Amino acid sequence: MSSSTPLNRAADSLKRAASSLGGAVRGLRGSADPSGNRPDRGGRTSKASKLHPASLWAEAAGTAGEVLLPAWRAVRKAWLTYAWPVLAVVSLLGWVVLAAAIGLWWAGQAWGWQEAKSAALVAFLLFVLAIAFIIGRSAYGVVLDLARTRVAVGDDAVGSIAVSNVSTRPLLPAALELPVGANTAIFHLPRMKPAQVHEDLFTIPTARRAVIVVGPVRSVRADPLHLLRRRVLWTEPVDLFVHPRTVSLGSSAAGFIRDLEGMPTTELSSADVSFHALRDYVPGDDRRHIHWKTTARTNKLMVRQFEETRRAHLAIALSINTDEYDSEAEFEMAISVAASIGRQAIREQRDLDVLTQKGPLRCETGRNLLDDTTRIVGAPMRKTAVDLARNLADAVPNASVVFFVVGSHVTATQLRTSAASVPPGVRSLAVRVQPGAAASRANIADLTVLTVGDLDDLAIVLRKAAA
């Protein structure tokens, strides 16, 4: 047997515990002083070894755990494989009736109540009859099909369930259950002949942003009193993403992210696409940048000087602190604003980063962005929009345009502090959502504050920012 088996490890632990106990006992026996002290080699007295019950109990517990853990795993596996599927068939009402039957039979035996015994027998017979309703095998071929697994808020989410009888004998009427989020839809199957197909259509409401788990489809067999319920799963669950509502901004609305020639910086370069000025030639300069017309006119070598440019990198800081929003509708509008701006940046193939208090969102594709915005769950938290702006400055240091998407409870002072965390040369804008407010633009120092009262006004305020 390998030395790493549980039994060998347990034996080693017992040996260590025994040796510790033996050493402590020997120390007590060798004690020369009634007070518990014994002389050492130099004639001095020292304290004798003492038993430590805590360490002995810890050693014993560890040994028992190593010995019993394999047995516990085997028992748990047997319970989940054999016992639980049988016990799960009994409904809550069934357990109540079963407990009542046992209690009535015991009372009848104890006090001689024949009526109690009769009631117990009736309850037992009901259980026996209920078993007849759930035994047997069903042979269904079930296909769960959602027309689209990703829809926007307000769009129709349509699906179908196709059930076929794949056995060689007719099947009795039955019911199918389809969990849809926290609710359950019930479909009634008629008596089906061999190879017969029955199809049902259904529509899922998409009134709010959510990830809805649809399925698995399960058939249910139950007795008339629902003492026993037998469920059989036929499909796997499917995730339905109800994306936040977004609007198309158009290239003109996003014109402020212009970078056909790049956004210039204050740093000069000897090679780029943004021409800045001419300067004298210095040995080592690239001769391709010599401006020959000016050289002929001044009779000395002149080279072109350029400004370094950078491709527009859009960063969005979306605050999910619900304390900064006046209502759930305002919070949902903020998510829609961030998703709309992010989708526009992805369409224009610009670099994009979206950050919340809980971390970054995936921005490789528009689908990934909308999937992650669908999963956002707002909550009251200590991190405010100011903290988020500081995290954004550290996480995306090369951003050229920064958006702060916040709620109506964020003050002008907080917005000013958020803008102060943005490095110089980076254009920063704050989109403040407030349902019902008029679309407007204002400036706080170098920060452009855009107020959005309706999602359809987002393109208008962005055009104002670009003007």
For residue range 83-127, list pLDDT tens digits in order.
Answer: 777 788 888 888 898 899 999 999 888 888 888 889 999 998 988
Angle between helical axes of 412-420 and 385-395 (0-180°, round to 10): 10
Mean residue pLDDT of the chain comes to 81
User: Rounded to an integer, what distance in angstroms lies between the CA atom of residue 324 and that of residue 326?
Assistant: 7
Structure-token pair, residue 208:
């709010």
Mean pLDDT of 202-212: 93
Write down the pLDDT at residue 462. Answer: 87
Least confident range from 48-57, 211-220, 239-248, 254-263: namely 254-263
Q: Using CA atoms, how far apart are residues 124 and 99, in angstroms rounded to an integer? A: 11
How big is the CA angle at 375 (ends 382 and 214), to the nearest 5 degrees?
145
Most trustworthy range by pLDDT among 141-150, 164-173, 267-276: 141-150
Residue 77 half-sphere exposure, CB side, CA atoms within 13 Å? 6
pLDDT above 70 (res 302): yes
Among 12-16, 125-129, 184-188, 301-305, the range scoring the smallest mean pLDDT is 12-16
- The Cα 422–Cα 14 span in angstroms is 63
Instruction: For 420-461, write each residue's pLDDT tens digit.
Output: 998 887 889 999 999 999 988 898 888 899 999 999 999 888
Residue found under tokens 């110089």: 424
Segment 60-83, tens digit of pLDDT: 777 777 777 888 888 888 877 777
pLDDT at 30 (0 to 100): 46
pLDDT reported for residue 74: 84
- List the end-to-end C-alpha distance of the chain, in Å, as a whole number: 81
Largest CA distance in the chain: 129
C-alpha separations of 283 from 91, 188, 301, 303 in Å? 91, 88, 10, 11
Q: pLDDT tens digits, residue range 359-402? A: 999 999 999 999 999 999 999 999 999 999 999 988 988 888 89
Average confidence (pLDDT) over 121-140: 85
How far apart, in whole angstroms, are the C-alpha atoms of residue 378 and residue 329?
Answer: 12
DSSP annotation of 289 reads: G
